[in-house]
């Protein structure tokens, strides 16, 4: 595999930002690769998946590009203070990457995944851009953003949370996955969804509730739980399984 770090100026963010990219070593003439946009968590950055998992080894024999953007702690949201991280990852980044690299522009060849804050981002972006992304993966996702706020409002993260989501209930409702996926029912195209969360994870109950909500709405969701906390050993295991779910849809996901 080839690993690249790309510095690009983002119009949405009005600044230069870094993107990590994994590509197959040899790309055939006129070949168009499938693409997985892989999102980091809170306090993370574009290097996390490379540093803490075997993601490069997992895709060594696959015809897929892995795009890993940097969003700081921006929750993949067009923030109240003007940093448009949602627009950057959902709209600008795919269009830019598809002009630079030999990536397929077909919906069925585009996927998005993330852990924790990135799991929220992946489900949010796929839910609001269902015509762009065919599959979305959340690992230990922060899927109930209102509950995350309740958990953090008495901590030093309160001010930062307000800078991202604002202070009004209406603005928070616009970022809520429950509302997004209820509204998505009206769309003809809906992403297939993959969820995993450890039973010792502090977000386990949030994941359980959101999974039940999706099932009640009639979404196609593959969901697994196993022993594990909010930690890289869990995410490394499940990103490998999620990749099999994406790239080999008829394959066996059992151990």
* pLDDT at residue 189 in the model: 95
Q: Is the pLDDT of residue 251 over 70?
A: no
Mean local confidence (pLDDT), 243-254? 82
77/157: higher pLDDT: 77
Q: How far apart are CA 26 and CA 116, in angstroms?
A: 33
Q: Contact 9/16 with Cβ under 8 angstroms?
A: yes
Beta-sheet strands, E only, within the chain: 2-10, 15-23, 34-39, 64-69, 110-115, 135-139, 192-198, 221-226
pTM of the model: 0.96
- Average pLDDT on 49-62 reads 96
**From 70-74, 108-112, 159-163, 196-200, the region with the lowest mean pLDDT:** 159-163
Q: Which residues contact 190 (CB under 8 A, 6 or more apart)?
A: 130, 184, 219, 220
- Tell me the average pLDDT across 116-132: 98
Could you give the C-alpha distances from 167 to 203, 214, 230, in angstroms and in order?
23, 27, 28
Residue 166's pLDDT is: 81
The pLDDT tens digits of the residues spanning 59-98 come to 999 999 999 999 999 999 999 888 999 999 999 999 999 9
CA distance 44 to 65: 21
Tell me the C-alpha distance between 197 and 207, whole Å: 7
Strand partners, 103: 33
User: In whole numbers, what is the pLDDT of the chain averaged over residues?
Assistant: 94
Question: Residues 11-37: pLDDT tens digits?
Answer: 999 999 999 999 999 999 999 999 999
């Amino acid at each position: 595999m080839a690993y690249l770090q790309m510095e690009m100026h983002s119009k949405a963010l009005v600044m230069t930002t870094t993107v990590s990219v994994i590509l197959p070593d040899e790309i055939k003439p006129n070949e168009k690769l499938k693409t997985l946009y892989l999102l980091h968590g809170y306090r993370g950055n574009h290097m996390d998946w490379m540093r803490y998992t075997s993601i490069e080894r997992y895709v060594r024999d696959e015809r897929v590009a892995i795009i890993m953007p940097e969003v700081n702690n921006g929750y993949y949201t067009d923030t109240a203070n003007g940093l448009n991280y949602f627009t950057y990852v959902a709209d600008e980044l795919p269009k830019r990457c598809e002009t630079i690299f030999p990536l397929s522009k077909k919906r069925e060849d585009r996927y998005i995944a993330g852990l924790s804050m990135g799991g929220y981002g992946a489900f949010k972006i796929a839910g609001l851009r269902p015509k762009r992304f065919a599959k979305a993966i959340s690992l230990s996702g922060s899927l109930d953003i209102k509950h995350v706020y309740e958990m953090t409002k008495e901590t030093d993260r309160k001010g930062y949370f307000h800078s991202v989501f604002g202070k009004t209930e209406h603005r928070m409702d616009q970022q809520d996955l429950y509302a997004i996926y209820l509204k998505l029912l009206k769309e003809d195209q809906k992403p297939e969804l993959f969820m995993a969360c450890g039973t010792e994870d502090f977000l386990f109950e949030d994941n359980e509730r959101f999974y039940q909500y999706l099932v009640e709405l009639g979404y196609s969701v593959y969901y697994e739980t196993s022993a594990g906390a909010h930690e890289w050993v869990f995410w490394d295991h499940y990103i490998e399984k999620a990749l099999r779910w994406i790239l080999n849809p008829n394959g066996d996901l059992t151990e």
